[in-house]
Structure 1
């Protein structure tokens, strides 16, 4: 093969490869696919991360604390404090500090945590009890006590409406309609109602403001972009620095284990139960510890007899004595065991020189029913007399 042929083959191979590449390129289609990895770890650990980023995007300074204990010094007057976390462990002294801070010109936004108890005259929520704001379940309200329904409420009965001056349309909010706030002192100057309940109250407290809400889930990551939730957050915090407290206490070790390792805790609990059952199982009542001294032969014999009497009853003991007599008679008269019963009784009478009536009484078959103590003693006496005579 000369060089010309080689060049032609190489050129043909290159041409075929180029055509194949062009054809494959025409068959490929470009597409985009979005893979959802779920929320970021920061969002999973902070339910109000979106609210915090929203406020910062508005140019507001936002400080975040995990709990009341982190507020060693309260914000300066004129700022907004969003107290959205659990306040079960709040002390009366901390409550006084917060109310004094609000009276000095701060804006305190707080979530009602407990229902009003008519019997005790309080709810246990120290902040709301001091302000005489009462929270009720809408199921316990009379129809007359519920907020009157307007034409707008009839269109959206599950939404809360907030009306502002110089505004033709209200802001719509998705508060939990199972709860209702009541201003017992009639101090509130602004409020937001759903079809049958009040979910936000705002009142003057000294030189500052206090805003009470039935719940704050509208500002959590999954709900802040719905309806006018983000607008309400802006409206309550506008033109002020914000301190956000959304968690009063961290989950304990047991709560973390129960949340992340429920199967492991279940297996550990079952293992502990089985171990306790194994250690604590018994087969009878506890017996006193045995004396270290050696027992006499009579005690061993008595114990053996009591054991046989307890497990085999009288029949076992009587049969053993009868079998012993038959062995002794067979030694003295080979072939004894092959004789009929009448012949055995006659031979036993000859060997022992005892009357036939006593022999028959001693060797009679043992009854299946339980013998009385007297009958058992008499039968044993007959057998012992016969055995001793052999």
Structure 2
């Protein structure tokens, strides 16, 4: 009765928790931005690998973490300089593996080490420097108004690593002309992600970036060029990886055989004696053909010796088995059987045959 009274006094509360997008939008954080540009008849290309800059690509939107090698910076530099392309680099939150609903507080770039050396060197060649720990009291720098190429946009961005303008002031966006093209660096990529593209003037800013390209063409969204599965695994679960590696090393140390025997620990009693080897060899021949292969050479040798004895004793035309029987002291039937019987059915018969062959061997010179 008491359990029913306790259950009757219980209550429950329903709570709805927002976990984010499903399907393609969960994999591609810029899916809404791509579809928005497609409505304006822009051709969109979205891929995880490095874009083919030889195609009709006019705009490349790429996270800074993907530009991790000198070869990448050289490709982008030559493409923008000589082919008139527009490179938009996203410093923070440009990676597709990040979840829009998993960003509860600021977790973007914090230190200079978060940017690859080839990327910062390339930016230095373009005259773009960075300020780290931007903001006040260790809080990220936050802006709500943004000026881009003479247009003002209402946005929400925050970052600790920001590009510097010509007056060495930290800004959220810095765009420089480079040869025939343009390079734009944006500190915070969240305004272009699925969750926030519809807020403020974020979509209008994206359209302005598209219009800033020197010529019309395909817009390429690049995702996770430099992030491999093992890199993601190490970045998110390195304690578990280290524990697994140590466990495998311990298992190998425990299970693998040693490189050699421990002679000092081996006792002489474990060594196989000579009679054990003979026993094993005899068992092999018995299972093979009842030792017929061992008896055949002996019989051939005895026949040859018996025939030579018959020639020297004047019994050339005589019965060789009778001669063997007279010399060995056994009956002719036993002598013939020992010299011609092919296979023994049991060990007893085989033992008698071998005994008679031994007697014949000792009696014939």
Q: Structure 2-normalised TM-score?
A: 0.48
Higher relative contact order (CA 8 A, sep 6+): 2
Q: Structure 1-normalised TM-score?
A: 0.45
